Amino acid sequence: MNTAESSAVASGLAWFKSSYSGAEGGDCVEVAADPEVVHVRDSKTVAGPVVRVSREAWAGFLREV
């Protein structure tokens, strides 16, 4: 996992937020995928840090939830 990336670096990505977040936004995260990793950020702090995980780790996380 790499947390050194900022949202500025990842700004060219297509970010997606859960449909469960509702119109008010709420407390949720956004994700964006590129060919190598999945980027995760706080939807309320889009200019903040981005967590990067491998696509395999993300798939494992989704299987568990």
Q: What is the pLDDT of residues 6-62, one digit of tens each?
A: 554 566 899 998 777 766 656 788 999 999 999 999 888 888 899 999 999 999 999
Q: What is the 3-state secondary structure (H, E, C) of 34-65?
A: CCCEEEEEECCCCCCECEEEEHHHHHHHHHHC
pLDDT of residue 33: 93
Contact 30, 13 (CB under 8 A): no
